[in-house]
Amino acid sequence: MAINKHLTLEERIKICSMLNQGESFKAISQSLSKSPTTISREVKSHLIYKKISGYGRPYNSCLNRFSCDLRMVCKTCIARRKYSFCHSCKYCNTNCKDFMQELCKRLNKPPYVCNGCANYNKCTLEKSLYQASSAHTEYKSVWSETRSGIMLCEDEVKYIDEVVSPLLRKSQSLNHICTNNKDSIMVSESTMYRLVDYNVFSARNIDMPRKVRYSKRKAKHGIKIDKNCRIDRTYEDFNVFISNYPDFPVTEMDTVEGNKGGKVLLTIHFKMAEFMLAFLREANDSQSVIDIIDRLYLELRPDIFSYLMPVCLCDNGSEFSNPKALEFDKQKNQRTHIFYCDPGASYQKCSIERNHEFIRLFVPKGQSFDYLTQENVNTMMNHINSYSRKSLANKCPYEMFSFFYDEEILSLLGCLRIPANEVTLNKSIFK
């Protein structure tokens, strides 16, 4: 029996088909190798209610529809034709003040739906249905929403930190803090625990006496904050923008992590040339990304920067959660356009993800970047960018970047080409 597996569209279609045939939850679960509880929960979570009736009959779910003898309930009858009794009119339930809704007793027990009901075409009550396509669409929407992050911007996190961290250092519990400062904090206690656990606050788990006694929990993903920054910057908006400006080159940005809490790399990938830059950062915060973009903007000159990086595609990490600071310089001049991939869809920027495999040849996943310097990182990237690629007609990214742009820009970036026979893709170059 499959455990902890999400239902696919094909499985939902089969559930809908078997419900239409009048099959029980147990029979459906055996067919799909799932628990009956899973099928029951799936059906009850994605019910659709429709005010429809059978063929040739108007919708009417009034408890007194068979005995009612009311006529002309509406002062001015709005029906297409004059009915002898109002219970024969589809507007009866809406306009009658004596309306009392009747619910089908079949819906109070499994399978909780009208699918497969023998009386479906004769029944005039409100229908409860399970439809595979709408259930899967709703599931995908919820799945994406839960991975979009906490709706807090950096200023809000900073404000909450100023309230909470001093109190945590006084050995107050988060429950005590939230109870007595609920008008200032404005977030739930569980959210507070997550923010502390993600090391967003200056206070840490060690400042909570009971927290350090607990056994180590399952590793969690990094925090993703400020859903508002995605407004007009989604992947769908990115596709629309590129369709309007097809000549704009696309730059992809991402983070490569070593050990949690240690140094990280910001990678900037020029997709057309498969050329990548990497910058060492002390922590994975948004300010370090802003500082690097500001420095590149000044070193390359504004005109060259805007020419090289008119469009940037990022993931939903907190380090990219201040798009306006990346898009505009200090004089409020727009220097680039920031867009975000869909949550959990790293394949939408697959070019930079593939190039990260070269970095892992030097520093395998799970190992720390703390011993590296920016000079080491520059040397590593020079070797990677001098490595010939079959996808580039056996040219290296350095050659392609020089062809598309200019050798002068490469010198401004401090990039060097390594002779082909001297290219080394392992950490021996650091020695």
For the stretch 370-414, pLDDT in tens is 899 999 999 999 999 999 998 899 899 999 999 998 888 999 999
User: What is the distance between the alpha carbons of residues 114 and 116, in angstroms, rounded to a whole number?
Assistant: 6
Q: Return the pLDDT at 75.
A: 66
- Taking only the tens place, the pLDDT of each residue in 204-216 is 887 876 665 555 5
Which whole number is the average pLDDT over 35-44? Answer: 92
pLDDT score, position 204:
83
What percent of the chain is modeled with pLDDT above 70? 91
Residue whose entry in the numeric block shows the structure tokens 């975000």: 340
More confident residue, 78 or 189: 189
Decide if pLDDT at 34 tops 70.
yes
Cβ-based neighbour number of residue 321 at 10 Å: 27
Rounded CA-CA distance 274/71 in Å is 76
Neighbours of 167 (CB within 10 A): 17
Using alpha carbons, select from 116, 137, 138, 141 the residue that is nearest to residue 127: 116
How many residues are listed for the chain in this entry? Answer: 431
Q: Residue 282 contacts by C-beta under 8 Å, 6 or more apart in sequence?
A: 263, 288
pLDDT surpassing 80 at residue 342: yes
Question: Which of 248, 399, 247 has its CA nearest to residue 312?
Answer: 248
- β-strands 275-281, 264-270: how paired? antiparallel
Look at residue 210 in the predicted model and tell me its pLDDT: 67
Mean pLDDT of the region 20-26:
92
Whether 184 shows a pLDDT value over 90: the answer reads no
Using pLDDT thresholds of 50, 70 and 90, give the confidence band for residue 224: low
Q: For position 401, what pLDDT does the model report?
A: 94
In Å, how far are 46, 66, 292, 299, 373 from 281, measured between CA atoms? 45, 75, 9, 18, 10
pLDDT-derived band at 226, boundaries 50, 70, 90: low
pLDDT per residue as tens digits for the range 293-317: 999 999 998 999 999 999 999 988 8
CA angle 299, 302, 306 (to 5 degrees): 115
- 289 contacts: CB under 8 Å, gap ≥ 6: 253, 266, 281, 319, 320, 326
* Helix or strand holding residue 36 (H, E): helix 36-45
